């Protein structure tokens, strides 16, 4: 009985515990599963079970090292949604790429587990743990096409630069630990406020180091260099997964660390993030224009979207953070949706990654073209799609906090982005098909696309529910 009373309260941790166990079970079970579709299905079931446990989890564990609150739960929802959608669009794709192995799904689960730990981290050590778990799984996933040199290159590049970013994170951590004697986020904030060392250059240095490390994870310029190559080289389904979940996880820790530990320094770090956000939008939107490979184009587009989401963080306050979370949630659907269409063009013996491959798609495959049209307009931010709602909320938060000029910069860049998103629409609708393009379709794939499309259109027209959810999530922060 003594052991039981000494056992820490782990209710807050239940979703993660459940996920760890089930993911390990799946890894072993996979040895006996012949048809890998079943593994995929089980992965989705696991996500659902974890989602169920998520509803009942709240509070802190291990003396504040692990926090389960509205903020973390909202992000975990984003991770699970992107996990399920990514699994659904992977099933047929990895078969075509002839890498139909069960570990693929286990790695996705572990990566998601890492993200969930990141979102709940109340301590930099837990954060690091989650981040490495997420990243290590992703390095493997990025190189999953073992016979493809591009995929190998993507994996190696991602690994080297990721390790580099981790070093920055550790360096920043050691700096702040040396100063405050703790790695707990709340304790850091407390120490900084109580001892008046908030403006110590070492604190600023560690803030900058954290910006570099997290900036790498969310692919913000100038730490974005890896993104286009990795996105292009990695299997498309992994790219879809990678462009949403890890990015959201990066934002989750960005918000957690900067608003909790460095909450008193908001003016200072906002001063660093503003040029970063502007540069990110500029690099993403302008370089996307000249891309000929759609995966690279979407990579630059995802860089640009990190720039928009940063605006919410800069604006800060309840609305700012809620608008950022709302944006990431919407972004999950529209971006995985877009990649979902990209994947369909991949058939045996045809890569379908060039933008010119989309010529006349509206004629040969009107439904696929129409879906792509919806996602492209949503990514541009044209109503009545969810992308517009997301941007609108961000700009509203920015203006309310007095960053009208930043909103102005952002809208100009989003007008520029119309050019390259519409180029896809133009190729699909306004050109004649050159060669016959076949599509690889499957029922799970159809479900994923249907869910993404419905979400994009529904949130575009009736955003109230998700806005309230994001607001409620921030309320307890």
| Cβ 218 to other proteins shortest distance, Å | 24
- Name the segment binding other proteins (CB under 8 A); options: 205-213, 252-260, 299-307, 404-412: 404-412
| Pick 102 or 463: Cβ nearer other proteins | 463
Among 404, 435, 443, 475, binds other proteins (CB under 8 A): 404
Cis-peptide, bond into residue 384, ω within 30° of zero: yes
| Cβ 462 to other proteins shortest distance, Å | 8
Residue 169 token pair: 């994170």
Q: Would you count residue 383 as binding other proteins (CB under 8 A)?
A: yes
| Cβ 411 to other proteins shortest distance, Å | 4
| Cβ 71 to other proteins shortest distance, Å | 18
| Pick 256 or 391: Cβ nearer other proteins | 391
- Tell me how crowded residue 24 is: count the other CB atoms within 10 A of its CB: 13
| Pick 28 or 367: Cβ nearer other proteins | 367
| Cβ 380 to other proteins shortest distance, Å | 8
| Cβ 449 to other proteins shortest distance, Å | 17
| Pick 54 or 469: Cβ nearer other proteins | 469
Radius of gyration of the chain (CA): 21
- Name the segment binding other proteins (CB under 8 A); options: 46-54, 126-134, 148-156, 417-425: 417-425
Of residues 240-299, those binding other proteins (CB under 8 A): none
Q: Would you count residue 355 as binding other proteins (CB under 8 A)?
A: no
Q: Would you count residue 348 as binding other proteins (CB under 8 A)?
A: no
| Cβ 383 to other proteins shortest distance, Å | 4
| Pick 101 or 419: Cβ nearer other proteins | 419
**Angle subtended by helix axes 317-344 and 386-400, to nearest 10:** 160
| Pick 53 or 392: Cβ nearer other proteins | 392
Q: How far apart are CA 417 and CA 384, in angstroms?
A: 17
Of residues 436-475, those binding other proteins (CB under 8 A): 462-464, 467-468, 471
Burial of 364: CB neighbours in 10 Å, binned 0-12, 13-18, 19+: middle
Q: Is 316 left (phi over 0), alpha (psi -120 to 50) or beta?
A: left
- Name the segment binding other proteins (CB under 8 A); options: 183-191, 276-284, 337-345, 379-387: 379-387
Do 29 and 45 meet the contact criterion of CB atoms below 8 Å apart? no
Sites of contact with other proteins (CB under 8 A):
362-363, 366, 377, 382-384, 388, 392, 395-396, 399-400, 404, 407-408, 411-412, 414-415, 418-419, 422, 425-426, 429-430, 462-464, 467-468, 471
């Amino acid at each position: 009985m003594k052991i039981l009373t000494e056992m820490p309260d782990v209710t807050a941790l239940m979703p993660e515990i459940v996920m760890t166990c089930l993911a390990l079970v799946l890894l072993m079970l996979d040895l006996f599963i012949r048809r890998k579709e079943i593994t995929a299905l089980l992965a989705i079931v696991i996500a659902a079970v974890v989602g169920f446990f998520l509803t009942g989890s709240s509070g802190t564990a291990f003396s504040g090292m692990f926090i389960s609150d509205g903020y973390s739960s909202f992000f975990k929802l984003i991770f699970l949604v992107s996990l399920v959608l990514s699994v659904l669009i992977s099933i047929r794709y990895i078969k075509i790429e002839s890498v139909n192995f069960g570990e693929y799904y286990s790695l996705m689960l572990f990566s998601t587990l890492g993200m969930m730990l990141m979102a709940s981290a109340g301590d930099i050590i837990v954060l690091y743990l989650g981040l490495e778990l997420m990243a290590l799984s992703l390095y493997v996933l990025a190189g999953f096409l073992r016979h493809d040199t591009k995929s190998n290159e993507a994996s190696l590049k991602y690994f080297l630069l990721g390790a580099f970013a981790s070093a920055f994170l550790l360096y920043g951590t050691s700096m702040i630990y040396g100063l405050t004697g703790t790695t707990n986020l709340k304790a850091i904030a407390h120490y900084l406020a109580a001892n008046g060392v908030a403006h110590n250059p070492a604190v600023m240095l560690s803030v900058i180091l954290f910006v570099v490390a997290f900036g790498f994870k969310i692919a913000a310029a100038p730490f974005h260099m890896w993104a286009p190559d990795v996105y292009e080289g990695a299997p498309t389904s992994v790219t879809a997964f990678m462009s949403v979940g890890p990015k959201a996880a990066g934002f989750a820790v960005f918000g957690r660390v900067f608003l909790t530990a460095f909450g008193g320094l908001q003016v200072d770090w906002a001063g660093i993030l503003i040029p970063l956000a502007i540069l990110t939008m500029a690099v993403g939107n302008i370089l996307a224009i000249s891309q000929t490979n759609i995966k690279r184009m979407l990579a630059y587009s995802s860089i640009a979207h990190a720039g928009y989401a940063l605006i919410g963080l800069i604006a800060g306050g309840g609305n700012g953070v809620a608008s950022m979370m709302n944006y990431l949630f919407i972004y999950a659907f529209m971006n995985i949706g877009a990649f979902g269409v990209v994947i369909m063009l991949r058939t045996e013996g045809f890569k379908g990654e060039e933008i010119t491959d989309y010529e006349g798609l509206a004629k040969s495959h009107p439904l696929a073209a129409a879906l792509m049209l919806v996602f492209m307009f949503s990514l541009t931010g044209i109503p009545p799609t969810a992308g517009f709602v997301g941007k609108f909320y961000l700009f509203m938060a920015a203006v309310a906090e007095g960053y009208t000029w930043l909103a102005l910069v952002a809208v100009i860049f989003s007008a520029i982005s119309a050019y390259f998103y519409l180029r896809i629409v133009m190729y699909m609708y306004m050109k004649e098909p050159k060669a016959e393009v076949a599509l690889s379709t499957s029922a799970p794939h159809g479900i994923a696309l249907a869910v993404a499309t419905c979400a994009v259109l529904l949130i575009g027209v009736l955003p109230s529910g998700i806005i309230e959810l994001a607001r409620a999530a921030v309320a307890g922060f």
